[in-house]
Amino acid sequence: MRYFEEHRPVYHFSCKKGWLNDPNGLIYYNGYFHLFYQHYPGGVTHGPMHWGHARSRNLLDWEELPIALYPDENGMIFSGSIVYDRDNTGKFGNGKKETLVAVFTHDQICRGEKIQYQSLAYSTDGGMSFKKYAGNPVLDFGLSDFRDPKVFWYAREEKWIMLTAALNKILIFSSRDLREWEKESAFSTEDMQKNEIWECPDLCVLKDGEGRKKWVLIVSQNTLDYAKTGIRYFIGDFDGNHFVDETGGDRLWMDFGRDNYAAATFEETKDRIVQLGWMNCWAYAQKVPEEGFRGSMTIPRELFLLETPNGTRMGQKPAREIFDNIHIQRLTENKVVQDVLNGIFEIEPQGDRGEIFIKNEYETLSVSFDYKKGWISVDRSGLCCNLGDEFAELRKMRFWMKEDRKILLVVDTTSIEIFAAGGEAVGTFQFFPERPFQTLEVRMEE
Ligand code: FRU
């Protein structure tokens, strides 16, 4: 279903009405990619959270479905994940074999104090409706910041693993039946500052350049005032109990833009890891222009590992369905293209340096790159909207994959996603011009 307001993206999922943040419960099941999401249908700011629901066959055309989870006596429904309980280990749904089990955070105010705990709901009709488990919550330590359970099946030991965020730690639990959970370990790093917290952990397996399987821990990092946000990742190993980071050193960020947060990966996609993020930033998310709806997701991306001269790094590219369904315009020389409200562009610079502008008569977003030195930057200070320092600051990233010069741009109404340096440098940026950006100008060194 597509709608046509001025700020409505075409390639990206946005809900018809109301507020949207994190993607939740991503799973491929029976021919559909299911996307649940943090949703407040009654307004355009964060409010009493529900799980909205949409599905798609091609990761591009989304069908919005009835709300999946409503707040209840245990609190609001915060972020979480869904698993396919193939062997019915949880014995939900009167012993019916096929159950999808949603594991989510209940957020509650209890005697004036915030408290968060983990709860379950299950579906026996392929995710079209959910029943909350009567024994909720299943994991409760009386903590005020304890949320965003990511659950997956750890086949080697035939057990479920749950990761949750608790301030600057990721707590890891295990279970045989999804109901009883035991603590395994905690992961943190020394570089975490006092005011920094983690949210929305995810753990997946990717192959490195030599075909070795690596466990990659992905966490969204925020500050308590919700200002500086981004997604970090760690490459290492997981033995069913502990995650060990093998990268160390510098902080590794998935996106050099500000507008990719709380990203999660789909369960059950077998041979590939497909990730989707909330295309926004807490620092200004509740201030961006709205038209009865506010917020959208990033383009779905496939994740892989890249061997760079600086070590193993995360690589990203749009999911193959995007290329199958959208025509790509290729630009190999300096050009001014009109009517670019939505489109995918592949730019192949012949020289080392260049700039790309998307603009209207008096506002510009500029992308600059230098393949010799290995950096790319985006400047949004040429936009009129006043969304604060986090929006206007120059964002710059160094990269090492200097040989692969193609730059892919996904432009969609109010956003641009940039995939450069073979997927090593990826940036997601929203823009809200006073009049739609319709011109794309490419200026490259010959
Ligand atoms: C991340 C987050 C999660 C939480 C949800 C609430 O954006 O803060 O930690 O579960 O949003 O909507």
DSSP secondary structure of 290-343: -SSEE--BPPPEEEEEEEETTEEEEEEEE-HHHHHHSPEEEE-S-EEEE--SEE
Going by C-alpha positions, the residue among 33, 53, 17, 65 that lies closest to residue 299 is 33
pTM: 0.97
79 within ligand 1 shell (Cβ under 6 A): yes
197 within ligand 1 shell (Cβ under 6 A): no
Q: Are 88 and 96 in contact (CB under 8 A)?
A: yes
199 within ligand 1 shell (Cβ under 6 A): yes
Q: Tens digit of pLDDT for each residue in 60-71?
A: 999 999 999 999
To which residue do tokens 């060990």 refer?
244
What atom in ligand 1 is closest to the CA of residue 80? 10
What atom in ligand 1 is closest to the CA of residue 49? 12
Q: Tens digit of pLDDT for each residue in 132-175?
A: 999 999 999 999 999 999 999 999 999 999 999 999 999 999 99
Torsion of CA 384, 385, 388, 390, to 10 degrees: -90
At residue 226, the pLDDT reads 86
For 429, the token pair is 């940026």
412 within ligand 1 shell (Cβ under 6 A): no
What atom in ligand 1 is closest to the CA of residue 165? 9
At residue 360, the pLDDT reads 94
Q: Tens digit of pLDDT for each residue in 33-88?
A: 999 999 999 999 999 999 999 999 999 999 999 999 999 999 999 999 999 999 99
